[in-house]
Amino acid sequence: MSSYHLDHLQHLETEAIHVMREVAAEFERPALLFSGGKDSICLLRLAEKAFRPSDLPMPLLNVDTGHHFPELNEFRDRRAAELGARLIVRRVEDAVAAGIAIPNPGEVSRNRLQIPTLLSAIEEFRFDACIGGARRDEEKARAKERFFSFRDSFGQWDPKNQRPELWNLFNARVNTGEHMRVFPLSNWTEMDVWEYIRRENLAVPTIYFSHRRSCVRRGGQWLPVTDLLPPKPNEEVRDLVVRVRTIGDIISTGLVVSPANTVDDIIAEIAAARVTERGSRADDKSSEAAMEDRKKQGYF
């Protein structure tokens, strides 16, 4: 390298690697939250960059809501196997059966039920740190997150009393029963994630690319028709060429009508986009403080 200069992706990468290594060095029992989504795909590559040629010094953890896109779970399992990483999956169904997660009458979404499921997995394995792929540009409450985000023994986030975070000196100290959520991608934008996927030539689940799917129009978005989400009698089912921009549960992830077939197409589409990524997530629209409320309880 002749000029001592990092471009924006190299800059974000070196920062994220530093954060990951701090986790490996400072915590006894860390885990990496891996869903198979685009952000956690970047996390996995960064973990390889941080720790190779050693094995990843932490298992992968995923909370399966039972409402995942099947393509996502297949990808998750395959990728973990390729890396030789240990994958721990904890299911919302099991947490409900065990009385750990209790659905409200008529509650269909598994979004809220992920919280107790995750916290119970953290307790079960005594994880003291969980690395997640959340980004500050996603949402207003996340914009206030630290890289090292402290959670008390109830798994709660106290946004008004966060630890100051200075330079690249991360305070990783927790007492027994408390834990840390760590977000190496804090400073990444949606565009950075896709540019990194392109630069690193990373595989992503096929549902990010355009495909044909039966959809219904609900709440201003196109939702995929599945056994979990059958069309109502008065709803018209349309056969559309769509893709997902962000992946949530299959019953609440809005599909974007899009011909994007390659990562280049996706980057061009995002560059021209006029709505944010989370604009297609029904779970964030319920109230202006929806994400803040879920995060305080222990959501990722």
Partner 1 sequence: MPHSTHPIEILRFNTCGSVDDGKSTLIGRLLYDSKSLMEDQIEALERSADITGGGQINLANLTDGLRAEREQGITIDVAYRYFATPRRKFIVADTPGHIQYTRNMVTGASSANLSIVLVDARNGVTEQSRRHTCLAALLGIPHLVIAINKMDLVDWSEERFLEIREEFEGFLPRLDVLRDVKFVPISALNGDNVVDSSSKTPWYQGPTLLGHLETVHIASDWNLTGLRFPVQWVNRPNNPRDSSLHDFRGLSGQLAGGILQRGQKILVLPSGLRSRVKDIWTYDRALAEAFCPQSITVLLEDDLDISRGDMIVGLEHLPGMGSELRARICWMNPRPLQRGKKYFLKHTTQTVQAVVTSLESRLDIRTFDSEAEPPELAMNDIGEIRLRTSKPIIYDGYGTNRLTGAFILIEQGTNMTVGAGMLQAPTEAVRPDYNDFAI
Binding site for partner 1 (CB under 8 A): 1, 4-8, 10-15, 17-18, 21-22, 24-25, 48-55, 136-137, 139-144, 159-160, 162-169, 171, 173-175, 186-187, 189, 191, 195, 267, 270-271, 273-276, 278-279, 288-289, 292
Q: What is the DSSP string of 213-234?
A: EEEEEETTEEEE--SSSPPPTT
**Residue with Cβ nearer partner 1 (60 or 113):** 60
Q: How far is the CB of 197 from partner 1 (least distance, A)?
A: 13
Helices and strands of the chain, counted as H and E runs: 8, 10
The whole-angstrom separation of Cα 31 and Cα 46 is: 14
Q: Is the peptide bond before 53 cis (omega within 30 degrees of 0)?
A: yes
Q: How far is the CB of 58 from partner 1 (least distance, A)?
A: 12
In degrees, rounded to 5, the angle at the alpha carbon of residue 8 between the alpha carbons of residues 5 and 13 is 95
**Residue with Cβ nearer partner 1 (124 or 264):** 264
Q: How far is the CB of 130 from partner 1 (least distance, A)?
A: 18
Residue 1, CA atoms < 13 Å, CB-side half-sphere: 6
Q: How far is the CB of 13 from partner 1 (least distance, A)?
A: 8
**Residue with Cβ nearer partner 1 (173 or 217):** 173
Residue 238 identity (one-letter amino acid):
R
Asked if residue 30 lies in contact with residue 57, where contact means CB atoms within 8 angstroms, the answer is yes
The whole-angstrom separation of Cα 153 and Cα 150 is: 10
The whole-angstrom separation of Cα 67 and Cα 111 is: 9
Q: How far is the CB of 257 from partner 1 (least distance, A)?
A: 16
**Residue with Cβ nearer partner 1 (64 or 137):** 137
**Residue with Cβ nearer partner 1 (14 or 214):** 14
Q: How far is the CB of 139 from partner 1 (least distance, A)?
A: 8
**Residue with Cβ nearer partner 1 (234 or 287):** 287
